[in-house]
Amino acid sequence: MSTSSCAGLKSKCEPACCCLPYSSFLFSLLEAEVVEKQVRSTTTLLKLSRLPFRKTIDEFNFSIQPTIDERRIRELMTLSFLKEHENPIFLGPPGIGKTHLAVSIGLQAISQGYKTYFVSAHDLIIQLRKADSDGKLEKKLRSFVKPRLLIIDEMGYMKLDIGDAHYLFQVIARRYEKGSIILTSNKSFGEWGEMVGDPVIATAIFDRLLHHSRIFNLNGESYRLKEKRNKDKLEK
């Protein structure tokens, strides 16, 4: 423990110093330093995660999305899927909370000390394209393999060419049975062959992604459209 840290912690605990045995006082100092290190670690993991916003599961309105099984979502929050290297996959139309769910699970993972990284499918491909052109593809691929939890958001908004499909396959293949992926997509699995551009590569991706997966098919009205309609009603 550093002298400055000890001095700062000691000043916080001094009132208890007179009435506590030295061993108890020392334990209090050590406990406070452990808590401080945990806070710093969580802050660093949050910064490195690139999460687009911070919304917890308690902020998710399950009542207006009846197709979502709250029990199954709450089970994901235990993070048992990380230990099994499983991949939660959220499928459904835009605006129904897929990203919110992914982010809330990411926040829970970070709170438990797991390195987490969030990236849209579009940005993932763009980064890998650039790394490849710069001769740094291997290094970039390793950066997507390293996190315990990788969140790939909005799969399906960008049609992939053969090269892009190979990039995606390499990320998924290298993480297979080594780290979990949370994936959100507005496309059903039946549409992935067209989106990926090569049915053979699509099948290879499915084989690894779905082998250990938990699939959630979401339906319902977009939150954003619903809020817009309610706002318009209030303004009339």
What is the arithmetic mean of pLDDT over 160-186? 97
Whether pLDDT at 66 is above 90 = no
pTM of the model: 0.83
Whether pLDDT at 4 is above 60 = no
Position 224 scores a pLDDT of 64
CA angle 103, 105, 111 (to 5 degrees): 105
Give the span between the Cα atoms of 236 and 233, in whole angstroms.
Answer: 5
Instruction: Indicate if the alpha-carbon torsion angle 122, 125, 128, 130 is positive or negative.
Output: negative
Burial (Cβ within 10 Å: 0-12, 13-18, ≥19) of residue 96:
buried
Position 150 scores a pLDDT of 98
Laid out side by side, the sheet with 180-185 consists of 116-120, 149-155, 180-185, 87-91, 213-217
H helices within the chain, ranges in order?
Answer: 3-17, 22-49, 70-76, 80-83, 98-111, 121-133, 137-145, 162-175, 192-196, 199-211, 223-235
Instruction: Indicate if the alpha-carbon torsion angle 73, 107, 114, 39 is positive or negative.
Output: negative
- Cα–Cα distances in angstroms (integers) from residue 152 to residues 117, 156, 225, in the given order: 9, 11, 24
What is the arithmetic mean of pLDDT over 63-87? 94
What is the arithmetic mean of pLDDT over 142-171? 96
* Cα radius of gyration rounded to whole Å, the chain: 22
Position 16 scores a pLDDT of 45
The model's confidence at residue 193, banded by pLDDT at 50, 70 and 90, is: confident
